[in-house]
Structure 1
């Protein structure tokens, strides 16, 4: 699902309205990017869950089929029963390994898709607008802190 937010038309960059429209456009772009990243993450999760359920279903179906054969009496010979029990044991041993592998993949995906820090954007002008004050500890390419203009009496 693509999110398309209406954007204000950019004004002249030397005016307060122009700077405001630029900031709003940047903010809307960040929101659209965040929604797209969330949609991609949800799609990856759905694929992962589908793959995990298929991987877990395979040994379970093998175990159930072997049990059904035994219950129907299709395994009359002791050698057939032994082979079937070996097959069930093999599938039962495979399940914990699959679960462990899936948990490792989930943890790996969690660490790779962890929170992404906000990256500073380059300033659109060489100097901040007169109503903005930059924090002295941050470079000029980071976000500005707004300070209200002094009230005239």
Structure 2
């Protein structure tokens, strides 16, 4: 009986220590409320909870606040455009900051992002402010601005 209790306790500990997917990781961080709302509005939550792996350049609430409120509200109501903008922040595969190479990289949306490595990692005109937040289906790099497809 004692062995059964120890095994059960170890099993529960392992379950609670299990990594979270990209969406759960972002929500738990607390500073991606606008991103979570946008993912929900675009119907992308299940996609980013999927197998992956994905590399997500995630704008914070502060980054979304740089967009005029009327423009952000309009974007949140335009599912097609919102999906295009959000998937422009996602790159297939799991790319850690140390593996980023300067140049163009294709996004899930199709258009390419321009990555820079001088003075830290940049994504188009956004700076990575926190890197390598590992989720069980990829990695999140926090950026200080929303990047828009050209």
TM-score by length of 2: 0.25
Higher Cα radius of gyration: 1
- Whichever structure has more helix as a proportion of its residues is 1
- Whichever structure has more strand as a proportion of its residues is 2
